[in-house]
């Protein structure tokens, strides 16, 4: 992520953050699909909810990072 002067390339960082968000959204999609199963225990649903909340927290942090970069 560094250019020749060892400075951070803001565009590259932003691009990578969006790529991370995309990957986590794909993970959330997989979890949501598993949650649609007709036969799934309440414990498994609870685990899926925890996983989704964790992913959403990560995405929020990545969005906040992009937002901070755009403010400067």
For every one of its 72 residues, what pLDDT tens digit does the chain have, with 9 covering 90 and above?
445 566 789 999 999 999 999 999 999 999 999 999 999 999 999 999 999 999 999 999 999 999 999 886
d(CA 27, CA 49): 13
| pLDDT score for 50 | 98
Which two three-digit tokens encode residue 69?
């970069």
The model's pTM: 0.83
* pLDDT, position 51: 98
41 lies in some domain: yes
Is 59 within a domain? yes
Contact between residue 27 and residue 55 where contact means Cβ atoms under 8 Å apart: yes
Q: pLDDT value at position 5? A: 61
Structure-token pair, residue 19: 């790529």
Q: How many domains does the chain have?
A: 1
pLDDT of residue 2: 46
Give me the domain span that covers residue 64.
25-71
């Amino acid at each position: 992520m560094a250019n020749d002067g060892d400075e951070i390339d803001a565009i590259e960082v932003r691009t990578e953050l969006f790529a991370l968000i995309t990957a986590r959204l794909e993970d959330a999609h997989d979890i949501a699909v598993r949650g649609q199963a007709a036969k799934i225990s309440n414990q498994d649903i609870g685990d899926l909810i925890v996983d989704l909340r964790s992913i959403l927290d990560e995405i929020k942090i990545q969005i906040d990072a992009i937002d901070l970069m755009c403010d400067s």
